[in-house]
Amino acid sequence: MTPNLVYVVVIGVLFAAGVSMLLERSLTRILMGMILLGNGVNLLILLGGKAGAPPIVGGAPESEMADPLPQIMILTAIVITLGMTAFLLALAYRSWAMAGHDEVQDDVEDRRIMLLAERDEGSGAEDNS
Amino acid sequence: MLLLLILHAVAALSAPLLVRAGGNRVLYGLALVPAAASAWAFANTGDVKSETYPWVPHLDVDLALRMGPLAWLMLLVVGGIGAVVLAYSSKYFTEGDPNLGRFAGVFLGFAGAMTGLVLSDDLIVLYVFWELTTVFSYLLIGHSPEQAAARRAAMQALVVTTAGGLAMLVGFVMLGEHAGTYKWSEITAGQLPEGGYLATAAVLILAGALSKSAIFPFSFWLPSAMAAPTPASAYLHAASMVKAGVFLIGLLGPAFGDVVAWRWVTVAAGVVTMLLGGWAAMRQHDLKLVLAYGTVSQLGLLTVAFGAGSRTAALAGAALLVSHALFKAALFLVVGVIDHATGTRDLRELSGLGRRMPALAIAATLAVASMAGLPPLAGFVGKEAAFAAFEQEPLILLALVAGSGLTVAYGLRVLWGAFADKPDTARALPTPSGAALVGPPLLLACAGLIPGLFATRLDGVLAPWAAEFGGPAYHLGLWHGFGLPVLLSVVVLGLGLSIFAAARRRDSWPAQRFPAAESVYRRIMGAVDRAAVEVTGFTQRGSLPFSLGMILVVMVVIGTVTLALGAPWPAGIRLWDSPLQLVAGAVVAASALLAARARRRMTAMILVGVGGYGMAVLFILHGAPDLALTQFLVETATIVMFLLVLRRLPAFFSARPLVGSRVVRNVVAVASGLVAAGMAYAAVSGRQAVPISVDFPDLAVSYGGGTNIVNVALVDIRAWDTMGEISVLVVAATGVASLIFRRDDALRGRSTSPSGSLTNGGPGWLRAGDTPEARRQSIILQVVTRLLFHTIVLFSIYLLFSGHNEPGGGFAGGLVAGLALTTRYLAGGKPELNAAAPVDAGLVLGTGLLIAVGSGLAAMIAGGQVLQSALIDLHLPVLGHIHFATSAVFDIGVYLIVVGLVLEILRSLGAELDRRHDAGSASEAATGDDRVKELV
């Protein structure tokens, strides 16, 4: 199989744009990045199967049909994205309602461990005194 | 044998409940379970029993159980002593101790694991039981989790024995992979590997065995483990678990006897442990610690005997094993009674107990006599055999004599310390202990007579196993005539007495801690902790962008390297399948780039939406009408959702990242894009096998009963995927609701709102605008949406059922119905939504999931596989011929779940946010009025 150049370029652009939005702190922006990235991945999966006539028996000879398997996977992915979008939007709203912004804050526990590392201390999980 | 294991498991699981219901005396009943194991072994004395049940056939791991002579002996010990100790625990713990149920459960779980361990014939199964005993031991040592020392000791035992166990597993795998089977009886029957391979496996297995049996340099965990309640110490850390390592050496010994490393590691480590342990026991003041170090010493002796690889030594080991289990468990229980009666275990504070507790003193004396090797007790038989085994090896013999001398000395120290009258110490005033506490140790101590008096019977049962070792024949017995062994026994007694006397004259015994091993352990654990902090602190900054960036950088690096080194680069490339793809692709790409640059939320959202519609066009051009349909609908629903939330959020994205981090971000983004494009480019030509989907057209028609391959696959061939997916949707919907509705609001707001509008008599069909809220909205729009609503819903149902043969299906149908609800909500707000769907969204979701799961289970009940579909053809008078696939029922479930999800979103992100906004502006207006009043 030879790859389709349009797909390859669009996949690259979707990944780049998605990642650049994903690496920010605003939750709505992260969500949009996820959607773009998801579109890129869906296209990547679609590229793995050949294009052709709709995979409906009787519509076209089987040899001319598009590969149905990537389509099945993508269909599942699209609908799950809907659920995830709803959840993250609710999270963004709640964050805004409670903290006045929808930014993802640093994890407190991770900060504590960083401080321990700077002070060259152990976690004290097993105190060996 | 499997029945015994099941019995233990059931007893362990039900013990907490039984103890809560019946109190401490339940333990007497539970003690019957380990007793049954022992009784079963006794009933099958002299037989070799084996049972095999398939467990993990793909890995050739069977639940293979086998009782040979050594396992028989262990089973008697494990079951018998377990029963006695459990009965003892009934009185040892105070009545109504809230932790007793847990103790009994864990104790029985341990007894079951130990039974499984000694009966395993499959090395993997043995390993599983081995680690189970470690886990139960951890729980018992940490019986009082509020004590730091107990937690630390439990962790220490766990880490040390598990580390050894992992090494042992590697050794097992080496043996098993070489032999092609993990059954020990088959491995020994075949050709063993040779040379370095076998020696490596042997040493790895020894690491596990020696760490379990607390042999030097792993000894330090055992004295710390005395933090466990005394019954647990008596059973696990004297009689049974620590014997597991020695048992394994005895079990594998016949096969490894010729490996030089096996013999020298066991004998050398055993001798060192025996002497160090005996020496350390003389220094202790806590009676329990004297016994603990004594146990370490005795385990060293057992290791020497089992590891030596001769028939006589093996028999000596078996006899010593059973005698040690009996006398050491008895002594631990004695110390438990003393602790119970006086509140101390310190031998400097105890005086005159011998007069006050004569029965206990008799038990202890009998046990110590067995330990010292006095006839006719079990210890004598074992020690005689041990001396006989090493008659030709003076160095080892000398070490044995020294070690046994120390054993006699600390045995006397225990007796003297616990029971003697000490002139300068106040007499202890023990609270009376009943027969229920004193009986068990007395029983165990007297049981020490049995192996002594019936030594020849024991010898007869063990002979087949002992014969697997080389060397001249030897028979266990009470009397072998005057010879070197008897002479040495007398020497040992004399030596022990003089050591004891010398120790009594000195105030302090020369310091000799276990050399550095424990501090090495602490240093290793400290270093692991420090390294973990450093690595975690460096890699997990707690910043989401940083963590995501880290993952992406790894993806870029690995992707680049793979692409550069070994990717199958395709021979050529096509520009497009049709030129229209270029147009759609350009729209998708441009909108994505613009969205990434947008600073207004609304702008970015619209651009992302445009990209989504562009994707749908690409799907159509690819030949995927179902994807396109679903993508169009999902994109529309997504835009509505975004609008609902974004109208409440600020117009601009908050704080922009700093310029420096923006550069880094863009570099990572561009690199990810390039790698993704490169992977896409290379992956296509990587597909060389025939796609699995070539059979899908036939399968869809013949099994699924539909011509639309994609939709039939969703509800039939890949129905499990869909089942997972709809579960995710239900979870997401629940999550949305719980995030938006506060806890107290949740019940009130959700349950009253739909029915509330109904009790108002309903707005009446086509009579819009009779609520205050609705007056702000377009009445014409409301009326039009009401007129269209039922048509759209009907269409969605058509899509649902036509999906089997044409584009459509449960997802598309559900989304269309959801969008119909959305238009009603957008036109008239919450009252319109409630009028259109007077049900709770959770009810719709739950019904959908129930139908989907039910259709799957129905197929199973009907005798097929879960989610298998059947084809039904009906001829009805009016409707004519109906062709129906049962998977359509599953699709109805999918439909309802999608509708429920959209409904939940509209209620949460729509109506509830409206309510809050109105409440917020109303209160603002109110405060404004107040201010005006104040001004006036």
pLDDT digits (tens, 9 = 90+) for B700-726: 888 777 888 888 888 888 888 899 999
Alpha-carbon distances of B363 from B41, B91, B366, B458, rounded to whole Å: 26, 18, 5, 24
Kindly determine whether residue A39 and residue B725, on different chains, have CB atoms separated by under 8 Å: no
- To 5 degrees, how large is the angle CA B386–CA B396–CA B500? 80
pLDDT in tens, B426-480: 777 778 778 888 889 999 999 888 888 888 888 888 888 888 888 888 888 877 7
Residue A127's pLDDT is 52
Q: What is the complex's ipTM, to 2 decimals?
A: 0.92
In a 3-state reduction of DSSP, which class is residue B15? helix
CA distance B106 to B137: 9
Q: What is the mean pLDDT of chain B?
A: 85
CA distance B402 to B255: 30
pLDDT band of B873, cuts 50, 70, 90: confident
Kindly determine whether residue A4 and residue B576, on different chains, have CB atoms separated by under 8 Å: yes
Strands B49-56 and B61-67: antiparallel
Residue B318's pLDDT is 92
Residue B773's pLDDT is 56
Q: Which residue has the higher pLDDT, A107 or B305?
A: B305
pLDDT in tens, B33-72: 999 999 999 999 888 888 999 888 887 788 999 999 999 9
Task: Quickly count: other Cβ atoms within 10 Å of residue B23's Cβ.
Answer: 14
CA distance B794 to B816: 10
Site from A24, A41, A64 to mutate, B interface, most B CB atoms within 10 angstroms: A24
Residue B882's pLDDT is 66
pLDDT in tens, B391-415: 888 899 999 999 999 999 999 999 9
CA distance B404 to B271: 11
pLDDT in tens, B292-307: 999 999 999 999 999 9
Under 8 Å between Cβ of B834 and B868? no
CA distance B410 to B393: 26
Under 8 Å between Cβ of B255 and B188? yes
- Greatest mean pLDDT among A78-87, B645-654, B803-812: A78-87
* B524 close contact with A: CB closer than 8 A: no
Residue B204's pLDDT is 92
Q: Is residue B90 part of a domain?
A: no
* B563 close contact with A: CB closer than 8 A: no
CA dihedral A82, A84, A89, A94 (to 10 degrees): 150
What's the DSSP call for residue B50? E
Q: Is residue B879 part of a domain?
A: no
* B808 close contact with A: CB closer than 8 A: no
Alpha-carbon distances of B268 from B212, B261, B262, rounded to whole Å: 17, 10, 10
Q: Is residue B86 part of a domain?
A: no
Kindly determine whether residue B540 and residue A110, on different chains, have CB atoms separated by under 8 Å: yes
Q: If you compute the radius of gyration of chain A from its CA atoms, what whole number of angstroms results?
A: 22
pLDDT band of B770, cuts 50, 70, 90: low
CA distance B736 to B738: 6
Domains, chain A, in order of start with CATH, read 5-118 (1.10.287.3510)
Q: What percent of chain B has pLDDT over 70?
A: 92
pLDDT in tens, B821-866: 999 988 888 888 888 888 888 899 999 999 999 888 888 887 777 7
Contacts of B582 in chain A (CB under 8 A): 6
pLDDT in tens, B631-675: 999 999 999 999 988 888 888 877 666 677 788 889 999 999 999
For range A5-23, the mean pLDDT: 93
pLDDT band of B745, cuts 50, 70, 90: very low
In 3-state terms chain B splits into helix, strand, coil percentages (rounded to 5) of: 75, 5, 20
Contacts of B679 in chain A (CB under 8 A): 44
Q: Which of B575, B625, B627 sits opposite A6 (nearest CB)?
A: B575
Kindly determine whether residue A83 and residue B668, on different chains, have CB atoms separated by under 8 Å: no
Residue B513's pLDDT is 54
For range B866-883, the mean pLDDT: 71
pLDDT beyond 50 at B762: no
Q: Is residue B788 part of a domain?
A: no
Structure token pair of residue A18: 């998605």
pLDDT band of B742, cuts 50, 70, 90: low
Q: Is residue B149 part of a domain?
A: no
Site from B693, B849, B898, B915 to mutate, A interface, most A CB atoms within 10 angstroms: B693
Overall size of chain A counted in residues: 129
What distance in Å separates residue A27's CA from the closest CA in chain B? 9
Kindly determine whether residue A113 and residue B729, on different chains, have CB atoms separated by under 8 Å: no
pLDDT in tens, A49-74: 888 888 888 888 888 888 898 999 99
Domain that includes residue B320, residue range: 266-515
Least confident interval from B100-109, B410-419, B578-587, B883-892: B883-892
CA dihedral A8, A14, A17, A21 (to 10 degrees): -150
For range B763-767, the mean pLDDT: 51
Q: If you compute the radius of gyration of chain B from its CA atoms, what whole number of angstroms results?
A: 39
pLDDT beyond 90 at B578: no
| Total domains in the fold of chain B | 1
Q: Which residue has the higher pLDDT, B258 or B33?
A: B33
Alpha-carbon distances of B793 from B730, B813, B867, rounded to whole Å: 21, 8, 27
pLDDT band of B516, cuts 50, 70, 90: low
Q: Is residue B333 part of a domain?
A: yes
Residue B807's pLDDT is 85
CA distance A7 to B687: 17
pLDDT band of B525, cuts 50, 70, 90: confident
pLDDT in tens, B145-163: 888 888 888 888 899 999 9
Q: Is residue B288 part of a domain?
A: yes
Kindly determine whether residue B740 and residue A40, on different chains, have CB atoms separated by under 8 Å: no
Under 8 Å between Cβ of B238 and B295? yes
**Nearest-CA residue of chain A relative to B697?**
A57
Under 8 Å between Cβ of B42 and B72? no
What are A60's strand-pairing partners? A57
CA distance B106 to B402: 38
